[in-house]
Amino acid sequence: MLPLVFFIGILIYFTVRVLIRGFYTVKPDERAVMTSFGRAQRMGNVLVTDPSLDEEDQKRYQFPVVHVIRPGGPYFKWPWQEVRKVSVATRSLPLTWDPTKNQTTVEAVTKDNLTTGVDGQIRFRVAERNLYAYLFGVAQPLEHVMGYFISVMRERVANFVDPRGASLLANPELPEDSPEYLSAVASDLSEGVSINDLRKNLPLLNDYMEQQCRSTGARYGIELDAALITQIDPPPEVDRALSAINSTRNHVAADISTARADAEQQITMSKRAVDIAMNNAQAEVAPLHELAETLTAIKAEGGAAALRAYLRNMRLPLLGRARRIVRAMGA
């Protein structure tokens, strides 16, 4: 009797453990990796490669390519096998996310030693091409990615310079009186208050973060989809000082624009006056030129007698209208 009960128990365990719990499915937004006795099923000796890693990091982050189970099912596994499922859907996290502490903003120091608060979000997803790193390579891959992102962001904030103003000022061929140069100088006046530059160039900062974090897929198995740094808040006293500086700069820029417009208007009016004077002079000179050409033509065709006759005939109407004739002595 006892062997029969033992046999039935084994049969029930086998039915539950193998036939019922042996089947599984994978959802559309999931990928799965199967392990046998704790070892993931690998695709031979193929390693994950990523051109965004430099030579040193390529030697450091060498993860094997594992066999990925696509969505569908039911699939079957043996009791000594284990299925590790991960979601590959795109997710987002605030920059302030840190499982070790509560914080409302991420502090960063600018190149002029101002401590400012940075806030925003990042979008990410698990790298399907490097599930080994996400599942087995790093204990807490998301914390590593956030730490890496914050480190790169703080390094960039500490060294950020407005590229537009710097490139214009560095151009030796740019005339000093050109609007581009004056704009660059105005931008340069605010240098030393790099928060202004950071606020004006948030898209450049986000692009830089996305570019620098492309290697996170090869490092930690998490791909960064987008960096959305939306807020840079300095301390209140610094913010008030910045507002005063910006107001003064805008006022100076408005005065410069007004003065430049007045000067351009004066120059335009002067050019018009010169054009009018030149037209009047040409109008007065034109009849004299015409008369000279006529006299020259008469003398050339009829000689001096024809010229004297022409002058006499032209003088008669003038003498008829003249009230008084003055003849100079010796004329």
Place of tokens 């109008």: 283
Question: Could you write out the three-class secondary structure of the chain?
Answer: CHHHHHHHHHHHHHHHHHHHCCEEEECCCEEEEEEECCEECEEEEEECCCCCCCHHHHHHCCCEEECCECCEEEEECCCCEEEEEEECCCEEEECCCCCCCCCCCEEEECCCCCEEEEEEEEEEEECHHHHHHHHHHCCCHHHHHHHHHHHHHHHHHHCCCCHHHHHHHCCCCCCCCCHHHHHHHHHHHCCCCHHHHHHHCHHHHHHHHHHHCCCHHHHHCEEEEEEEEEEEECCHHHHHHHHHHHHHHHHHHHHHHHHHHHHHHHHHHHHHHHHHHHHHHHHHHHHHHHHHHHHHHHHHHHHHHHHHHHHHHHHHHHHHHCCCCCCCCCC
Would you give per-residue pLDDT tens digits along the chain (331 residues)? 667 788 888 778 777 777 777 888 999 999 999 999 989 999 888 888 888 888 888 888 889 999 999 998 789 888 888 999 999 999 998 988 888 888 888 888 888 888 888 889 999 999 988 899 999 988 888 888 888 899 999 998 888 887 765 555 555 565 555 555 555 555 554 444 577 788 888 888 888 888 888 888 888 899 888 888 888 887 777 777 777 877 887 888 889 889 999 999 999 999 999 999 999 999 999 988 998 898 899 889 888 888 888 888 887 777 778 888 787 776 4
What's CA 190's distance to the chain center, in Å? 20
